Amino acid sequence: NAGVTQTPKFQVLKTGQSMTLQCAQDMNHNSMYWYRQDPGMGLRLIYYSASEGTTDKGEVPNGYNVSRLNKREFSLRLESAAPSQTSVYFCASSSQGGGLGYTFGSGTRLTVV
């Protein structure tokens, strides 16, 4: 099925550990995004990639890095996880910079203890 695939779906990390969240889309979209969702705060943009080969910071980039590996894949890395990074992470993609809406993955629920 066409869409956005995120892995893993669940993860528990200890403080200071590192991990990479994977995202892939098969809709030939140019733009990809990483959001985090916290209760009462909606979705906040961490990083985005408007097109292959470019990445830019969003609203809450501290503690994260990203890689746009190719047109399909956009990964999010936590180098040294902190409890404040406990959240649900969503990857999304769009074809025309969001003007027609985004397609979201099903999310990764991350807990940092």
What residues make contact with another protein under the rule CB under 8 A?
Answer: 31, 33, 35, 40-45, 48, 50, 56, 58, 90, 92, 94, 96-107
Nearer to another protein among residue 83 and residue 101 (C-beta): 101
Nearest CA among 20, 3, 16 for reference residue 94: 3
CA 11 to chain CA centroid, Å, is 14
Nearer to another protein among residue 41 and residue 82 (C-beta): 41
User: Strand pairing of 64-68 and 74-78?
Assistant: antiparallel
**Rounded least distance, CB 74 to another protein, Å:** 13
Nearest CA among 19, 38, 46 for reference residue 88: 38
Nearer to another protein among residue 56 and residue 79 (C-beta): 56
CA 87 to chain CA centroid, Å, is 11
**Rounded least distance, CB 8 to another protein, Å:** 15
